[in-house]
A and B are shown apart, each in its own frame.
Chain A
Amino acid sequence: MARVRTKDAAAFESLYDAYHRLVYGIAFRVVSDATAAEDITQAVFLKIWTAPERFAGGNFGGWIARVARNKAIDSVRRKSPAETELSDAMPDSDLLEERVFSEIDAESVRRALAQLPAEQREPIELGFFGGITHAEIARRSGIPLGTIKTRIRTGLGKLRSALEGTVRV
């Protein structure tokens, strides 16, 4: 990122090669449309190119994932503004984030997620990729709000534990 801040196109290309599948994958998961996902991917990377100062440091993968998720949810929000209660955008800059996964492997995460009970996995995926609030999740599923919140917390805790071997402090 330091080289990208100096408008080093080659460094930016390396950054794109490393993270474009993550950005595109998140965008596609949210919008379910290949063309729209590419547009979102393009917007995310061009934003990084024009405003690299928005990344304040820390876990770049986590940061760009949040940017991609927020951008994709914004896209969905513009198309269906009143149908659902949408969540707040995740903060781009997260100074509290001290622990990161040193080697996050998508397949490992998918396996870990698959091992969660559906009642925990579904609200987690819906909350992250659906961009809807826990209240909306509760409404759609017919499950009490408090139960949804507890399942989300429990599921995230299990996922954290399942991936513990790849976390560094």
Chain B
Amino acid sequence: MNPHDAMLDDIAVYALGALPRGQARAVREHMATCPECTAEYRRLKPAVDAVAYSAEACRDAAGGAVVPSPRLKARIMDQVRGSAARPRPYNVGEMRAVRPIVWPAYAVAAACLAVALVTSAFNISLNEELHQSQAQLAQLGTHTKLLNRQVAAQRTELADLTSTESQHFAVEDGEVVRHGNRLYIAMQSMGMPPRGKVYQAWIMRKGGKQMTPSVTFMPDHSGVAVVHVPARASQIVEVAVSVEPEGGSKQPTSKPAFVVKLT
């Protein structure tokens, strides 16, 4: 037997796992450079695996055969399921190994937080916009009500002014109209008052001794003015209009543009 045949025998013993540590290392180093020994190892290694399988326990205990206890599986699976349900403790080496996984997890968490913050800010913004929209909607609602009232008032006004049942009291460039308890001043070509001045209506109630101040108004650019005088028309016996300072006066400060008795 030459030295290499002896090495082939060592390969067989190494494959079986029966070499001491020092010789096993030497065989591994030799195989790294020897294709023949490597081939012999590959030839014999499945036989060693087969030896291992010869010890495989039987499926049942019939005839006193060796079988593991059924409780063994339950014991192992309890630990497996228990550990699967809780995070693994890490040692330093594992921490280094899993860091590429952990950091992305933090990154994902940070991204989720960022998304949450952006979403929250977006929600706040949306809420603010919603509140603003709701306020605008409420204002629009109020404005609509006012417009509706104005439209209704104008319709009433128009109906009153054109009604054959209304009383018309002619004045210069216009008229005073009474319909039931409603009273109007309707001017067709009224000149604009001086700067800082407005027109003001005056009314005399039944039994009254002097004019009392009523609404102030301005004609439009074409000289038209239709003004509802807020008073019970049936109680009014005289109407006048004068030019007064903005905000009106308690007493007439100028010669009236007209004075008309409602009789």
Contacts and interface: CB of A to CB of B under 8 A. Distances in A.
**Size range of the chain B interface in the assembly:** 35 or more
Contacts of B80: 9, 12-13, 46, 49
**Size range of the chain A interface in the assembly:** 35 or more
Nearest to A112: B50
Given A12-B80, A16-B76, A157-B47, A28 B17 contact: no
Contacts, number: 199
Q: Which secondary structure characterizes the binding site on chain A?
A: helix
Contacts of B67: 21, 24
Contacts of A96: 31, 38, 41-42, 45
Contact of B51 (A38, A125, A149): A125
Given A7-B84, A87-B18, A163-B46, A41 B53 contact: no
Given A99-B46, A109-B53, A42 B72 contact: yes
B46 A109 contact: no
Contact of A50 (B41, B42, B54, B88): B88
Interface string A1-34: 0000001010011001100111011101100001
A168 B150 CA distance: 100
Contacts of A17: 73
A98 B83 CA distance: 34
A75 interface: no
Contacts of A28: 55, 57, 66
Interface stretch (B8-16, B154-162, B172-180, B232-240): B8-16
B94 to A, nearest CB: 10
A94 interface: yes
A162 B57 CA distance: 22
B44 A160 contact: yes
Contacts of B10: 149
A104 B9 contact: no
A156 B8 CA distance: 12
A129 interface: yes
Nearest to A90: B17
B263 interface: no
Contact of A25 (B42, B46, B55): B55
Interface in A61-87: 61-62, 65-66, 68-69, 85-87
Nearest to A111: B54
A9 B81 contact: yes
B18 A137 contact: yes
